[in-house]
Structure 1
Amino acid sequence: MDKVIQAQLRSIEEKNNVKILYAVESGSRGWGFESKDSDFDVRFIYVHPIEWYLSVFEGADVIEIPVDEVLDVNGWDLRKALKLMYRSNASLLEWLSSPIIYKQNQEFANELRYVSEKYFSPISSIYHYISIAKKSFDGLEGLKGIKLKKLFYVIRPILACMWIEKFNTIPPMNLQAMMKKVEIHNNIRKIIEELVVVKADSIESDSINQPIELMKFLRDKLEYYYSYAKDIKAEKERDSRTLNEFFHKTLRDYSGGINE
């Protein structure tokens, strides 16, 4: 699949006259709990030739490829990505710690990670993860059989909240990376580790009986982080100068010579 993905990325560059600076896996394979039939969720950041950014009217800032059973590929223009970074977009921040990198300019990636730390917002991130966890958790309670996929959509966001509370930094995308550092009861840790193994040998639609101890843990954490988020001190308005400087530097360094 790596060859297929690489070919897709090259095709995107040629057809759209752009340069892809960073491309990663953003779905369950990057999260660390894929199933046998999980697709590949490829996300990327790209730049246009510099003239594109000087147009009176802004052009489309997303490139999306029709989704099939195997590949889900789409990306954001650099300017869109930086606007989202200003708002501490959790999905974008996660891409920067993906364990599966399909393509990257190393200098660009390192600088983007450095910039991202300046715009990370614990408040918005906590609320983002709580929202994801609650939406999935509410659909599980009361059911005898629950889909593993949906259960992990509660587990990972809760662990992300635990990471933010402990370290006040951007949580890793990967579940196992978080599990190594957050403080979690051994029984819960063992249940989650066993579920990862089960999911790896299952398909996306498979269900299991409710793990009662884990469900109680998740419910308690959801209630706790709702209260915790309300007590976080309001943040000062962020300055956009660092983003502008990074934007200008990136265009100078990488926009020239695209399909000239």
Structure 2
Amino acid sequence: MSEFVIDPRVAAQVAEHRYPLLFATISGAHLYGFPSPDSDFDIRGAHILPLHDALGLWPDKHDTVQVSGIRDGLEIDLVTHDLRKFFGLMLKRNGYVMEQVFSPLTVLTTPEHAELKSIASQCLTRHHVHHYKGFFHTQWKLFEKERPRRVKPLLYTYRVLLTGIHLMRTGEIEANLVTLNNEFRLPQIPDLVARKLAGPEQSTLPEADVTFHESECQRLLTQLEAASDASHLPDVPTGSGALNDLLVRVRTGLRSQ
């Protein structure tokens, strides 16, 4: 992956967040390795509610912050969760938040973010396979129902299958499809990525190619299930205590200097 340069408009959006942030990273097509010229920037992260809000009657009112819009011509979608909610999602089979924690496209980081990455490795389980299988079925249904067929949901389908297989085999999160294909070497991926990068977002696929891609995705789904069965990942996360300790320290102001 080439060096990530933060767009000043993205940095400005993060800097204006109403709460302090533990981290903010880029997700979506930029993380997955195939942003087209008109792709928006998906900013994800974890914010820190002050004690007044966290301990009040309505903490849920503030546990998610979402800002979407156009900033100086750049489409930005920002979503962050308060630490308590974010950490809770990490203890479930939620691949999205894990990919956000480990995203190398970092807009804002802290010493606690580095600590969180270490703890996150203790929260990965073989049951994360259900997240990736579910995401696969969602993306494939989207691809199937559209006419003409778009390259974008097909790339998302391949990406989620390869990320899931890689996780089950290695215990590590890798969300970039181009990087993953250095391992899997699927000959169709470079062409699909090139179509997407050429833009616009509505890049289409010849109908004659659909049968091939359906067969390939079913083959990879079988590999994902087999990788899950053979995985050395634990059945339950082991990082809950460390997450709780980090939450208490950050919430009470005992943060790293």
- Provide structure 2 residue ranges, at least 5 long, that are not aligned to the other structure: 1-5
Q: Which amino acid aligns with 1:215?
A: E
Tell me the CA shift for residue 224 of structure 1. 4.6
* CA root-mean-square deviation: 2.8
Q: 1:154 and 2:157 equivalent?
A: yes
Give the deviation of 1:221 after TM superposition.
2.0
CA distance in 1, matches of 2:237, 2:80: 28
Letter in 2 for 1:138: K
Partners of 1:192 and 1:133 in 2: CA distance: 16
Residue 109 of structure 1: how far off its partner (Å) = 1.6
For 2:247 and 2:173, the matched residues in 1 are separated by 24
- Post-superposition CA distance 1:145-190 (Å, at most 9, x none): 42011101210111012202321x1321222232233xx3x4xx22
Structure 2 letter corresponding to 1:222: L
Mark the CA change 1:234 to 1:245 in structure 2 (over 3 Å): closer, same or farther: closer
Residues 1-260 of structure 1 aligned to structure 2 (within 5 Å): 2-12=7-17, 16=18, 18-58=19-59, 59-68=61-70, 70-105=75-110, 107-123=111-127, 125-141=128-144, 145-167=148-170, 169-181=171-183, 184=184, 186=185, 189-209=186-206, 210=209, 212-226=211-225, 229=228, 235-236=235-236, 238=238, 240-251=240-251, 252-254=253-255
TM-superposition CA deviations, 1:117-163 (whole Å, max 9, x none): 1111221x211111111222234459884201110121011101220
Contact map agreement 1:24 1:102 (CA 8 A) in 2: yes
Q: What letter matches 2:168 in structure 1?
A: E
Q: CA deviation at 1:254?
A: 4.5
Give the TM-score taking structure 2 as reference length: 0.83
CA contact (8 A) 1:93 1:170 kept: no
In 1: Cα distance, 2:27 partner to 2:76 partner: 12
| TM-score, structure 1 as length reference | 0.82
SS at match of 2:172: coil
Query: Which 4+ residue blocks in structure 1 deviate beyond 4 angstroms?
Result: 141-145, 226-234, 236-239
Matched to 1:200, the amino acid is L
CA distance, structure 2, for counterparts of residue 179 and residue 72 of structure 1: 27
SS of alignment partner, residue 73 of structure 1: strand
Q: Percent identity of the aligned residues?
A: 21
Q: 1:44 and 1:239 mapped to 2: Cα distance?
A: 19
Opposite residue 182 of structure 2, the aligned amino acid is K
Secondary structure of 1:96 counterpart:
helix
Q: Which runs of 5+ in 1 are unaligned?
A: none
Specify whether residues 136 and 54 from structure 1 end up closer, same or farther in structure 2 by C-alpha distance, changes over 3 A only. Answer: closer
